[in-house]
Copies of this chain bind each other. A is one copy, B any other.
Amino acid sequence: MLELAILGLLHESPMHGYELRKQLATKLGAIRAAISYGSLYPTLRRLQSAGWITDAPDAAEATPPAEIPPLTSRRGRVVYAITAEGKERFGELLAQTGPETFDDPGFGIHFAFFARTDSDTRLRILEGRRRRIEERREGLRDVLARAAERLDAYTLELQRHGLDACEREVRWLEELIANERSGRPPATETTPRPPTDRSGRDE
């Protein structure tokens, strides 16, 4: 869902649409291809009229004066920033899990913003995902065990590959869940991760 992703990125820092798309592409690169402008800009409008984000007239005060090179204010360049209501909305979206199916990109997007969730929510989402993947895994095993003779070799190969992917994902999720339970951050993290977030973490 675009809405969640946009709010999440703007939660980190204000940005204009074009930049948003690029960041989205790297942040969600593992999940899906880059979104199109035809989808991005109308969504920004919608979020704005809903009050979740504001249209700052230009940059300048939006970014901390250092680090980023001059930032010549070009043409229209509408810089958006998340509002307090937007942060609230983001929290809701982040915590809620829809009727996601295994092929739903919803999980991945939630996962990408796990750094902004609490451990309970993370666990709930991870376990929900695991359950769905396990169901799919069982379904595939069933087909391979019972309907194998009615399917051609390619279709079977596809099922096997799918089953394999399910098994790996379940193992991955198990690991993440175990980590989460023991309070450790996900994995090879060198920096101690202090909340480098400027101003109030939540809300």
Q: Which residues of A contact B (CB under 8 A)?
A: 26-27, 29-33, 101-103, 105, 108, 111-115, 136, 139-140, 143, 147, 151-165, 168, 172, 176, 185-187, 189, 193
Copies in the complex: 2
A165 to B30, CA, bound (A): 9
Contact A157 to B187, CB < 8 A, known contacts A103-B105, A165-B165 = yes
B30 touching A112 by the CB < 8 A rule? no
Chain B min CB distance to A55 (Å)? 25
Q: In this complex, what residue of B is CB-closest to A122?
A: B154
Which residues from chain B contact A161 at a C-beta distance below 8 Å? 30, 172
Contact A111 to B158, CB < 8 A, known contacts A105-B103, A153-B189, A186-B153 = yes
